[in-house]
Amino acid sequence: MTKNGAAYSSGTTAAFSFTPNDNGTYVVSLEVTDDDGGTDTDSESINGTNVDPTISALTISGTGGVACLGGNAVSLSFTVSDPADNSADPIAGTINWGDGSSTTYSGRTYSGSHTYSAGSYAIAVTASDGDGGVDTAGGASGGGSFSTLYTTSGILQPINMTGTRSGFKLGSTIPVKIRITDCNGNPVTNLSPQVTLKKMDATPDVLVNEAVISTVPDQGTTMRHAGDGQYIFNLATKTLSQGSWRVTITDASIAPVSALFDIKK
């Protein structure tokens, strides 16, 4: 059996087999000779189709800790297999790190690392064999998602996250507070957490049990840093209505935190 003039397999029996090392057209040649010197030949073409490469053993490590101010190093490793050998189908591809940056690689194994700031990401890997065969792995739904987030105190008093729900008088100003720290317990001071409210029901569950706070309410929804990693937002309630409310603090660098409180006339 030949391809482009090169021999790939031969045999002397009525049946033989071979495994092509690449896609393409192979020619099977048959020659028959009898005892009297008579000879006849025939040939047939066989088309070998390409098979996509396969990415496997994709492993992401170093994502379990709290985010550090200097960045978190996340390790990635994987292997690529292909029926054709590497001389026939050299593997090359791209790693999309999920933070807007990417890396190209070549070969059938990869091991490396990437440094992230705090946030949530998804690594996606592609592999190509150069003959149109492609495989992908990771991504948001394929095991490539992870987070490196700062830690928080949860919502601080005067809003109780646990125990008795806080009740405030309608028209008071409520300080919404949270403390954000890095992997070493150092305060993180350069964030802009956002405060959102959602009305849960119209009937408050508790009586007013927190002191009325009189301070100037903040505008918008952005918290400000108040020192030692603590952020604060003075929430005005005069435009709210009586009932139960959920306050939530979000930022790309932290896990969302929420607490319930009541407003009563």
Q: What is the pLDDT of residues 13-33, one digit of tens each?
A: 667 676 666 777 777 777 777
Percent of the chain whose predicted confidence (pLDDT) is above 90: 70
Residue 170 has pLDDT above 70, yes or no: yes
- Residue-wise pLDDT for 132-146, tens only, equals 999 999 999 999 999
Residue 1 has pLDDT above 60, yes or no: no
Residues 88 and 44 placed together within one structural domain of the fold = no
pLDDT at 43: 79
Residues 113 and 160 placed together within one structural domain of the fold = no
- Length of the chain measured in residues: 265
pLDDT at 10: 60
Where is the domain boundary, 148, 167, 194? 148
The enclosing domain of 80 has a CATH number of 2.60.40.2410
Question: What's the order of all strands across the beta sheet hosting 254-264?
Answer: 166-169, 254-264, 243-251, 194-201
Residues 188 and 258 placed together within one structural domain of the fold = yes
- For residue 36, the enclosing domain spans 2-48
Residues 186 and 174 placed together within one structural domain of the fold = yes
pLDDT at 34: 78
Residues 155 and 260 placed together within one structural domain of the fold = yes
Residues 43 and 76 placed together within one structural domain of the fold = no
Residues 196 and 242 placed together within one structural domain of the fold = yes
Residues 168 and 253 placed together within one structural domain of the fold = yes
Where is the domain boundary, 148, 165, 181? 148
User: pTM for this one?
Assistant: 0.77
Q: Which residues contact 121 (CB under 8 A, 6 or more apart)?
A: 97, 98, 99, 145, 146, 147, 148
Residues 168 and 181 placed together within one structural domain of the fold = yes
Question: What's the order of all strands across the beta sheet hosting 224-225?
Answer: 151-156, 173-181, 230-236, 224-225
The enclosing domain of 167 has a CATH number of 2.60.40.1930
Count of domains forming the chain? 3
Residues 80 and 157 placed together within one structural domain of the fold = no
pLDDT at 16: 66
Where is the domain boundary, 91, 115, 148? 148
pLDDT at 32: 75
Residues 44 and 61 placed together within one structural domain of the fold = no
Q: Residue 8: phi, psi to the nearest 5? A: -115, -30
Residues 58 and 143 placed together within one structural domain of the fold = yes
- Residue-wise pLDDT for 188-234, tens only, equals 999 999 999 999 999 988 888 877 676 889 999 999 999 889 999 99
